[in-house]
Amino acid sequence: MKHPAHAEPAVPAALTPALKPVPPRPQRGMWLRRAKRRLRFRVSIVYYLAKSGQLPRSTKVLAALTIGYLVSPIDLIPDFIPVLGQLDDLLIVPLLVGLTLRSVPRPLVREAAKKAARTPVQLYKK
């Protein structure tokens, strides 16, 4: 126990800076994992939208193009080209998924999202 004479002087609250708790630093690569998970979920939504018969023809074609590009072993830029091959997939796939989801009415997207949350789709490129 400290003696009252040796105790630290009380500093008025107005003079002390507001200390905010420091949030824990996220692990490396967490943003990439989250982005990958979100993209998988959105691809599942596009898949269920393509299967539904409630889309206009142009949106159905866009959804089929998106799923076809994901599953197809043929890329616009081959993957063996060091940077551009992977950059091609990183840019085109999210762009196609985003365009497809923006062209569909919200209620249909919500319905497909519920299906995708229950049973996600596994698409593999061979």
The answer as to whether 81 is a domain residue is yes
Model pLDDT, residue 42: 94
Q: What is the pLDDT of residues 26-56, one digit of tens each?
A: 677 788 888 889 999 999 999 999 998 888 8
Distances (CA, A) of 39 to 1, 18, 107, 108, 125: 58, 39, 20, 18, 15
- Euclidean distance between CA atoms 47 and 65, whole angstroms: 11
Place of tokens 């830029």: 77
**Overall domain count for the chain:** 1
Q: Tens digit of pLDDT for each residue in 84-95?
A: 877 777 888 899
The identity of residue 45, as a single letter, is I
Say if 10 falls within a structural domain: no
The answer to whether position 3 is within a domain reads no
Is residue 24 assigned to a domain?
A: no
Residue 123: inside a domain: no
pLDDT beyond 80 at 11: no
Q: Which amino acid is at 27?
A: Q
Residue 41 in any domain: the answer is yes
Domain assignment present for 11:
no
Give residue 126's Cα distance to chain centre: 23
What is the rounded CA–CA span in Å between residue 64 and residue 17?
57
| H/E run at residue 65 | helix 57-71
Task: Assess if residue 125 is contained within a domain.
Answer: no
Q: Which domain holds residue 73?
A: 29-118
